[in-house]
């Protein structure tokens, strides 16, 4: 596995984010919502309790549907992936109507998938530094709206004057002010529904780069992509030459949906410059660098 040279965080102006897997604990959310299916698995079936393996199998169906029908909205992808997984495991409900309803209920669960415990505080910290924050998400706008008004609602709480006064700033002086609006919290949101394809398609990253330049006048080399999934984010980021940070959620970064590090590294498909176990750890590292930079600037 090759590795990107580490530039100062202060040399970037835009942080782009994967949402589901990086900010939102999609694996726990999905496994909880798969309970009706899991309950019909026979005793002794290893998938009944192996979240990693079940996640890999679900992801196989999700990826297939996204590749075959890139214009399908994500709520429909979730519905069809659930039904496809249940069919493969031979645990579909007896009648078609019940099967479809279970799939729809599963898709609607996205608004309840929990944020990681560190997400809201870390994102708010990064906001105070003055970064332009932009999600690049494999989702539809309606589903993302449910996440914003539910698990991520805390992003919109006003900052105190003390919070902002003690926060370090980017060298370009872009630090936010106490009267800055936090609704919407993100400066822009680019979804699969907007783009017409799903990550890891390079079209999604081309869209990100071109729209960041058009919307904010920021060049590609000033974008830092922050994500958990090796498959959806870091492999295509390497292909397109976008610098990235791996948020290695879970035990040693193991994920049933984002890919296995050893497999991607062995094939030299990834080259992220930084690795952190959480978004909070990443935000703390950025803060530490900016504080030192601000100190030097005031000597």
Distance CA 124, CA 279 (A): 11
Candidates 18, 25, 118, 233; catalytic one: 18
Task: Give CA–CA dist 28/13, Å, rounded.
Answer: 32
Consecutive H or E run containing 275: strand 274-276
Distances (CA, A) of 173 to 13, 38, 41, 54, 70: 11, 52, 57, 47, 40
How far, in Å, are 62, 106, 134, 144, 153 from residue 75 at the CA level?
11, 9, 21, 10, 21
Lateral strand order in the sheet of 274-276: 190-191, 132-137, 14-17, 223-227, 243-247, 274-276
Helices (H) and strands (E) in the chain, counts: 13, 6
Written as six digits, the tokens of 187 are 């400066």
- Residue 252 is among the residues annotated as catalytic for this protein: no
Residues with catalytic annotation?
18
């Amino acid at each position: 596995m090759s590795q990107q040279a580490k530039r100062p965080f202060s040399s970037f102006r835009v942080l782009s984010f994967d949402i589901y897997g990086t900010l939102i604990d999609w694996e726990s959310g999905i496994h909880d919502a798969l309970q009706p299916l899991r309950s019909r698995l026979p005793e002794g079936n290893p998938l009944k309790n192996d979240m990693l393996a079940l996640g890999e199998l679900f992801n196989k169906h999700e990826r297939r549907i996204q590749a075959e029908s890139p214009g399908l909205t994500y709520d429909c992808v979730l519905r069809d992936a659930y039904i496809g997984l249940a069919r493969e495991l031979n645990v579909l409900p007896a009648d078609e109507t019940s099967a479809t309803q279970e799939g729809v209920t599963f898709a609607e669960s996205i608004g309840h998938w929990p944020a990681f415990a560190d997400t809201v505080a870390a994102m708010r910290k990064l906001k105070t530094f003055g970064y332009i924050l932009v999600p690049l998400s494999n989702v539809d706008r309606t589903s993302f709206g449910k996440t914003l008004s539910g698990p991520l609602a805390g992003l919109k709480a006003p900052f105190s004057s003390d919070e902002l006064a003690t926060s370090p700033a980017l060298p370009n002086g872009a630090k936010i002010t106490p009267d800055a609006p936090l609704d919407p919290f993100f400066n822009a949101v680019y979804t699969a529904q907007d783009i017409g394809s799903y990550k890891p398609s390079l079209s999604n990253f081309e869209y990100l780069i071109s729209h960041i330049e058009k919307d904010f006048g920021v060049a590609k080399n000033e974008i830092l992509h922050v994500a958990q999934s090796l498959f959806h984010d870091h492999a295509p980021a390497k292909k397109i030459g976008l610098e990235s940070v791996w948020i290695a959620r879970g035990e040693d970064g193991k994920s049933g949906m984002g890919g296995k590090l050893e497999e991607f590294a062995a094939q030299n498909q990834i080259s992220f410059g930084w690795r952190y176990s959480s978004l909070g750890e990443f935000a703390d590292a950025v803060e530490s660098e900016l504080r030192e930079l601000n100190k030097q600037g005031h000597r």
